[in-house]
């Protein structure tokens, strides 16, 4: 029973719930970035580079089984058949995906920091430096001497 109560206390903490929400939102956000990369950026990049499809860029490292019936240019089919592949196109796609994700997170953190930032409080103006107390006392003494 104590274990269950400790678990309830652990789950009820705010930071655990915040973390859970962050993981769920992060997973959904990751899908958006993946779609942005695969469905928008990579096709445009392929168009710019003359129709290159980066997801199918690979080098066959192992023997293709004799029973393989698919196309030898199909990365997914070869990978499913267990052929050793050097998939540099998929790697390039994932690197672009990571850079986009990191950049968008940077922008979100920067925006949040600006929202949360407290405005700087201006220091009260400093009175101009005048004569010291000693100087004032000397002036008063001299004024009293001149009266007598």
Please identify every stretch of the chain with a pLDDT value under 70, giving residue numbers as ranges: 14, 127, 148
- Give the pLDDT score at 86: 92
Predicted confidence at residue 112, as pLDDT, reads 82
Q: For residue 105, what are the CA distances in angstroms to 9, 25, 33, 54, 112?
A: 31, 12, 11, 25, 10
Distance between CA atoms of residues 38 and 68, nearest Å: 27
Q: What is the distance in angstroms between the CA of the first residue and the CA of the last residue of the chain?
A: 96
Q: What is the pLDDT of residue 14?
A: 65
pLDDT number for residue 40? 84
Domain range annotation of the chain: 2-118
**Superfamily covering domain 2-118:** Large-conductance mechanosensitive channel, MscL; domain 1 (1.10.1200.120)
Q: Looking at residue 115, what is its pLDDT? A: 84
| pTM given for the model | 0.52
């Amino acid at each position: 029973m104590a274990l269950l109560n400790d678990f309830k206390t652990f789950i009820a903490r705010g930071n655990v719930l915040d973390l859970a929400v962050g993981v769920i939102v992060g997973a959904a956000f990751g899908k958006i970035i993946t779609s942005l990369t695969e469905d928008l950026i990579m096709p445009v990049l392929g168009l710019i580079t003359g129709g290159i499809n980066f997801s199918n860029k690979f080098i066959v490292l192992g023997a293709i089984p004799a029973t393989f019936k698919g196309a030898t240019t199909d990365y997914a089919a070869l990978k499913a058949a267990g052929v050793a592949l050097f998939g540099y196109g998929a790697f390039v796609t994932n690197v672009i995906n990571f850079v986009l994700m990191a950049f968008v997170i940077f922008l979100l953190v920067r925006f949040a920091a600006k929202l949360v930032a407290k405005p700087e409080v201006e220091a009260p103006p400093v009175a101009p430096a005048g004569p010291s107390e000693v100087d004032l006392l000397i002036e008063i003494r001299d004024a009293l001497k001149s009266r007598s």
